[in-house]
Structure 1
Amino acid sequence: MKSSLHPARVVALIFAGVILLGTALLMLPAASSNGLSAPLVTALFTAVSAVCVTGLVVVDTGTYWTALGQVVILALFQLGGFGMMTVATLMGLLVNRSFRLRTKMIAQVESRSLGVGDVTSVAKLVLVVTLVVEAAVALLLTLRFHLTYDVDWPGAAWSGLFHAVSAFNNAGFSIHADSLMGFATDGFVLTPVMIAIIIGGIGFPVLQDLRTRFTDSRHWSLHTKLTLSGTAILLLGGFVSFVFFEWANPRTLGPMALVDKLLSAIFMSVSARTAGFNALDIGALTHESWALHYLLMFIGGGSAGTAGGVKIGTMAILVLMVVAEVRGRPDCEVFGRRITTASQRQAITVMVLGSAMVVLGTLVILRETDFPTDQVIFEVISAFGTVGLSTGITAALPESSQLMLSLLMYTGRVGTITLAVSLALGAHRMPYRYPEEHPIVG
């Protein structure tokens, strides 16, 4: 009997294939400004970072790469954020508007929609939201760059488009050497970018739910309620914490006016959860702000969006499990619903595997470099969470450490569970169950 690949394996393999294709394109002499072929590790790291919508770089995007190279990078993070399997679903929809069951199953792994029948509607929503948001933000940024900063129309249009697509896909790539630090006090630039980041990172199942039941919050799915409430808590908590930690820092918020401080603080809170843009010098932040970044970057955004991390839903379920255990409740409950045991086990699995990858990456890089531990931890979590923020050491890391970061980015984008399933032989139903026993915990 002919065997076929598990859908999760197809997802992992396609992402890997696009990375290899991107690497080959970036190694073309025409892609580098010096006219020479880019080194393999440089091209590979950039391709992984782009496809995995991370934003970590080892060379300056705006000066090292030519227009061709920048177009390739934009295409890679557009594909990575859009979801390779969502693209496949859309292409099949446009061709014959019908799908084989297996095609839907493959697309479901990437879109993480709630049912096989939802794939078509999710794919349509992905396309519409992507085009509308990116076009609107690109237009606003183009006008601002040209009218306020005297950038010529072609340059303003390219910069506007590049940053709009990068923001919506939570990619964090910028063609400016200092990312968005030059616009730290410009709300007309930072606000559209923040809106694109939030919409892209909240997750398409949530957007689908809001589209169909926007005014009827009582009937929103539990996933939508957890994601929206978790997003609000993280954004507000991050904003308040950054204001507290950086208010008097002479290298960040200290010299700014009140309104500019608040703008930069909220942008930091939004970007830290996986977008990767920085309006302030990350290396100049206090150690408390770095620690806060660890948490926000590791959690990330919503499932099935362009954000990375272990996801808000995962963290919410774990917190609710702790609350239920402390209160002595047999079930994990919230918003009048009981969370299934399978979801709880998935959340634990994602958290354990994610934590293990962060620890492994930290140990490997610490062994190979002399950089401070807190900076290494920052880079590792930023890579695994596909965030892209850096304290400034990425380019100075040895190639072996850069390859380790590449592995972390790939794992973080494909997803710990998807990658694990793709490597496993497959689930097996056991014909028996062992007797139950309760070992001592704690």
Structure 2
Amino acid sequence: MPKRLLRYSLLRTHPARVTVVAFALAALSGAALLALPVATADSQAAEPVDALFTSVSALCVTGLVTVDTGTYWSDFGEAVILGLIQVGGFGIMTLASLLAVLVSGRLRLRMQLTAQAETKTLRMGDVRRVLLGVAGTTLIVELSTAALLALRFRYRYDMAIGDAVYQAVFHAVSAFNNAGFSLYSDSLTRYQNDPFVELPVACAVILGGIGFPVLLELLRHRTRSRGPRRWSLHTKLTLVTTGSLLFAGAVLTALLEWGNADTLGPLGTGSKLLNAFFHSAMSRTAGFNAIDVGSMEPSTLLSTVILMFIGGGSAGTAGGIKVTTFAVLGVAILAEVRGEPTSGVMGRKLAPHVLRQALTVVLLGMGLVTAATLALLTVVEAPFEYVLFEAVSAFGTVGLSAGITSDLGTAGDLIIVMLMFVGRLGPVTLVSALALRERSRRYELPEERPIIG
């Protein structure tokens, strides 16, 4: 094959391009199904924008909605949404993990660059294991969560067995895939005093959000004598950063909302702590809410925006820039402040291109959110903090809203659709593309230092 044709073929089959095209086709297919009259409760065809918005939100496991899920859509429509959530969550975990395998394998031949170091449990021959592992993990967590919720719905709230099972399965799938779709118009606010509903949902969200490579490594080491000392740097960074952000988010929410009469104020001490933790967990890209987000203090909204932008773990169902990206930049800043020539953490040196990739992801994410917020402000009449909150929620595929989603209008809806799609696939495809384009340089340019600061 001529070299030009070979390059063209490689370009056409680049993993980033395949991922984007596949998800775009799935989103359009879901929108077409939701636009059918049979998909709505009143058998009237949904507005095309509502159908597209809901399809992209479900496939990108976001949870933002322009219409009430439990009342607007029929059983068929809810089944389509549930299927899109499952396909989106499974597809993201699988594609991200397989991209890690691809990147890892190629970079292993080129002196083992960054992706192999971060996913050292994955190799080129592990495609089948990745697929089975993601499917098995998804099935186990979703069934376990659904069983706990079904028992609670049946014996605590006297639901019929069929209703209890259906609602439990829907919310379990939505939770593990970090989708945030609920069959209730108030999300999970009605269960704000029930830890037997909130905690299983929060646990499913956290497990889905830390990423399959971490789950696989934890499961692989559970029966061995090797403990945390033998965990990969990726697993250590993900667990430590996730735990720290969960704790910090819960503490900030409790402190800032403790006396707010519209949120935590009327609750007892135990319920306040429970809901502060629940909100922190949901801010990691899940989207359920048990307290009114629109009534929160501006300081709480800002802290939530930060958590939503950071997101969860890589190769998982969570969105955002990812906790490892945040941790890597934090380590680099600390090293620079200390005057150290290289960045290191937990006994490992970070390669320079890892820092460049992390910085690229963060700056592009900030630029996208800024541009989208400016665009929304021109078409939506709402306070700045609510618009910024909506934009970051869409980019981080979170699904939390301050209550303005249904008032965005067609132009605002399309902007949010773009944000959800790019926010879901952007970091995955960008990092894989950057890693696959990594190449060595046979010469070095003369060094010069511009003035910084």
Tell me the equivalent position of 1:391: 402
Give the counterpart of 2:306 among 254, 276, 295: 295
Tell me the equivalent position of 1:94: none
- 1:119 deviation in Å? 3.4
Task: Tell me how large the CA RMSD over aligned residues is.
Answer: 2.4
Q: In 2, are the aligned partners of 1:89 and 1:120 still within 8 Å (CA)?
A: no
Structure 2 counterparts to residues 247-266 of structure 1, below 5 A: 247-266=258-277
Structure 2 counterparts to residues 58-137 of structure 1, below 5 A: 58-83=66-91, 86=94, 113-114=119-120, 115-137=123-145
- 1:58 alignment partner AA: T
Tell me the equivalent position of 1:273: 284
- 1:151 deviation in Å? 1.5
Q: Distance in 2 between matches of 1:374 and 1:428?
A: 42
- 1:87 deviation in Å? 7.6
Q: Distance in 1 between matches of 2:218 and 2:373?
A: 39
- 1:399 alignment partner AA: T
Q: Distance in 2 between matches of 1:13 and 1:63?
A: 32
Give the 3-state SS of the residue equivalent to 1:436 in structure 2.
coil
Relative distance call for 1:315 and 1:85 in structure 2 (3 A) is closer
Give the counterpart of 1:194 among 178, 202, 207: 202
Relative distance call for 1:88 and 1:25 in structure 2 (3 A) is farther
Relative distance call for 1:336 and 1:74 in structure 2 (3 A) is same
Tell me the equivalent position of 1:242: 253
Relative distance call for 1:429 and 1:329 in structure 2 (3 A) is closer
- 1:89 deviation in Å? 9.6
Q: Deviations over 1:356-379 (max 9, x none)?
A: 110011000001122110000000
Give the counterpart of 1:24 among 12, 19, 32: 32
Structure 2 counterparts to residues 206-217 of structure 1, below 5 A: 206-214=214-222, 215-217=226-228
- 1:209 deviation in Å? 1.3
Q: In 2, are the aligned partners of 1:52 and 1:413 still within 8 Å (CA)?
A: yes
Q: Deviations over 1:246-270 (max 9, x none)?
A: 1111111111111111111110111
**Number of residue pairs matched by the alignment:** 427
Tell me the equivalent position of 2:150: 142
Give the 3-state SS of the residue equivalent to 1:415 in structure 2.
helix
Misfit runs of 4+, over 6 Å: 87-90, 420-423, 425-431
Tell me the equivalent position of 2:238: 227
- 2:34 alignment partner AA: L
- 1:146 alignment partner AA: R
Relative distance call for 1:438 and 1:417 in structure 2 (3 A) is farther
- 1:55 alignment partner AA: G
Worse-superposed segment, 80-89 or 349-358: 80-89
Task: Confirm or deny that 1:33 pairs with 2:41.
Answer: yes
- 1:66 deviation in Å? 0.3
- 1:205 alignment partner AA: P
Relative distance call for 1:310 and 1:420 in structure 2 (3 A) is closer
- 1:37 deviation in Å? 1.4
- 2:187 alignment partner AA: S
Q: In 2, are the aligned partners of 1:268 and 1:278 still within 8 Å (CA)?
A: yes
Tell me the equivalent position of 2:316: 305
Q: In 2, are the aligned partners of 1:353 and 1:416 still within 8 Å (CA)?
A: no
Task: Confirm or deny that 1:184 pairs with 2:195.
Answer: no
- 1:416 deviation in Å? 3.4
TM-score (ref. length: structure 2): 0.89
- 1:22 deviation in Å? 0.5
Tell me the equivalent position of 1:97: none
Q: Distance in 2 between matches of 1:346 and 1:437?
A: 22
- 1:255 alignment partner AA: P
Task: Confirm or deny that 1:319 pairs with 2:319.
Answer: no
Give the 3-state SS of the residue equivalent to 1:83 in structure 2.
helix
Q: Deviations over 1:325-382 (max 9, x none)?
A: 0001111111100011121111001001100110011000001122110000000000
- 1:421 deviation in Å? 7.1
Q: In 2, are the aligned partners of 1:168 and 1:196 still within 8 Å (CA)?
A: yes
Q: In 2, are the aligned partners of 1:200 and 1:305 still within 8 Å (CA)?
A: yes
- 1:285 alignment partner AA: M
Q: In 1, are the aligned partners of 2:93 and 2:315 still within 8 Å (CA)?
A: no
- Unaligned 5+ runs, structure 1: 91-99
Q: Distance in 2 between matches of 1:117 and 1:441?
A: 46
Q: Distance in 2 between matches of 1:410 and 1:269?
A: 24
Tell me the equivalent position of 2:110: none
Percent identity at matched positions? 50
Give the counterpart of 1:47 among 52, 55, 66: 55
Relative distance call for 1:392 and 1:181 in structure 2 (3 A) is same
Q: In 2, are the aligned partners of 1:379 and 1:391 still within 8 Å (CA)?
A: yes
- 1:9 deviation in Å? 0.8
